Structure 1
Amino acid sequence: MSPRLNLALQSGLSVSQPLIVFGPTPATDLSSLPAETQVVQPLKPFHDHFAEQGFAVVPKVQGPCRDAIVILPRAKALARSLVQQACTCATGVIVIDGAKTEGVDSLLKDIRKRVAVEGPISKAHGKIFWFQSDPTAFADWAAPEHQTADGFQTAPGVFSADGVDPGSALLLAALPDKLGARVADLGAGWGYLSAGLLKSSGLETLHLVEADHTALSCARSNVVDPRAQFHWADAVTWQAPEPLDTVVMNPPFHTSRSAEPALGQSFIAAAAKNLTRNGTLWMVANRHLPYEAMLTDTFTHVQKAIGDNRFKVFHASRPRR
Structure 2
Amino acid sequence: MMRDKAFDLLYQSFNPALPNTLWFVDENLIPEHAPAAMGNTRVIANRYHIHKKLLNAGWHAEFSDFDCQDLAPGSYDQIYLRIPKEKALAHYLINTASRLLAPMGSLILSGLKQEGIKGFFDRADTAGAQTERWKLDKETWAAAITFTQPITLDDKDYTALRPAVADTSFSFISKPGVYGWNKIDQGSQLLIEHLCDIIGQSQPQSALDIGCGYGYLSLHTGKMLSIPVIATDTNAAAIECCTANATQSNVNISAVADDCARHIDSVFDLVVCNPPFHSGFGVESQLTDRFLASAAQHLTPDGQAIFVTNLHIGIEKKAADYFSIVDTPVQTNHFKLIHLRLPKKSKATVSD
- Same-fold call, TM > 0.5? yes
Q: Given that residues 8 and 128 in structure 1 are in contact (C-alpha distance below 8 angstroms), is that contact kept between their aligned partners in structure 2?
A: no
The counterpart of 1:104, out of the listed 86, 92, 117, is 117
The counterpart of 1:87, out of the listed 82, 85, 98, is 98
Cα deviation, residue 134, structure 1: 5.2
Counterpart of 1:197 in structure 2 is: 221
Q: Does the alignment pair 1:115 with 2:140?
A: no
Cα deviation, residue 153, structure 1: 2.0
Q: Does the alignment pair 1:259 with 2:281?
A: yes
Q: Helix, strand or coil for the counterpart of 2:23?
A: strand
Counterpart of 2:19 in structure 1 is: 17
Q: Helix, strand or coil for the counterpart of 1:51?
A: helix
Q: How does 1:213-292 map to 2 (within 5 A)?
A: 213-224=236-247, 225=250, 227-235=252-260, 237-241=262-266, 243-253=267-277, 259-261=281-283, 262=285, 263-292=287-316
The counterpart of 1:212, out of the listed 235, 255, 270, is 235
Q: Does the alignment pair 1:39 with 2:43?
A: yes
- 189-198 or 301-310: bigger deviation: 301-310
Q: Given that residues 174 and 305 in structure 1 are in contact (C-alpha distance below 8 angstroms), is that contact kept between their aligned partners in structure 2?
A: no
> CA 1:168/1:19 → structure 2, altered by over 3 Å: closer, same or farther?
same
| Residue identity matched to 2:264 | Q
> CA 1:275/1:14 → structure 2, altered by over 3 Å: closer, same or farther?
closer
| Residue identity matched to 1:311 | F
Q: Given that residues 127 and 151 in structure 2 are in contact (C-alpha distance below 8 angstroms), is that contact kept between their aligned partners in structure 1?
A: yes
| Residue identity matched to 1:237 | R
> CA 1:221/1:47 → structure 2, altered by over 3 Å: closer, same or farther?
same
Q: What do the CA deviations read for 1:92-118 (whole angstroms, capped 9, x no partner)?
A: 212211223433133223323223432
Counterpart of 2:3 in structure 1 is: none
Q: Given that residues 18 and 40 in structure 2 are in contact (C-alpha distance below 8 angstroms), is that contact kept between their aligned partners in structure 1?
A: no
> Under a length normalisation based on structure 2, what TM-score does the superposition of the two structures give?
0.80
Q: Helix, strand or coil for the counterpart of 2:272?
A: strand
> CA 1:14/1:116 → structure 2, altered by over 3 Å: closer, same or farther?
farther
Give the gaps of 5 or more residues in structure 1: none
Aligned mates of 1:176, 1:294 — CA distance in 2: 25
Q: Given that residues 209 and 235 in structure 1 are in contact (C-alpha distance below 8 angstroms), is that contact kept between their aligned partners in structure 2?
A: yes
Q: Does the alignment pair 1:145 with 2:145?
A: no
User: What is the root-mean-square deviation in Å for CA atoms of aligned residues?
Assistant: 2.7
Q: Does the alignment pair 1:130 with 2:141?
A: no
Q: Given that residues 296 and 302 in structure 1 are in contact (C-alpha distance below 8 angstroms), is that contact kept between their aligned partners in structure 2?
A: yes
Q: How does 1:162-173 map to 2 (within 5 A)?
A: 162-173=182-193
Q: Helix, strand or coil for the counterpart of 1:269?
A: helix
Q: Does the alignment pair 1:161 with 2:176?
A: no
> CA 1:237/1:202 → structure 2, altered by over 3 Å: closer, same or farther?
same
Q: What do the CA deviations read for 1:60-111 (whole angstroms, capped 9, x no partner)?
A: 3441332311121122222112212222322321221122343313322332
Q: How does 1:28-67 map to 2 (within 5 A)?
A: 29-31=34-36, 34-60=38-64, 61-62=67-68, 63-64=71-72, 65-66=75-76, 67=78
Counterpart of 1:4 in structure 2 is: 9
Counterpart of 2:196 in structure 1 is: 176
Q: Given that residues 40 and 58 in structure 1 are in contact (C-alpha distance below 8 angstroms), is that contact kept between their aligned partners in structure 2?
A: yes
Aligned length: 313
Aligned mates of 2:181, 2:331 — CA distance in 1: 23
Cα deviation, residue 34, structure 1: 2.7
Cα deviation, residue 39, structure 1: 0.5
- 271-280 or 19-28: bigger deviation: 19-28
Q: Helix, strand or coil for the counterpart of 1:122?
A: strand
Identity %: 23
Q: Given that residues 7 and 82 in structure 2 are in contact (C-alpha distance below 8 angstroms), is that contact kept between their aligned partners in structure 1?
A: no
> Under a length normalisation based on structure 1, what TM-score does the superposition of the two structures give?
0.87
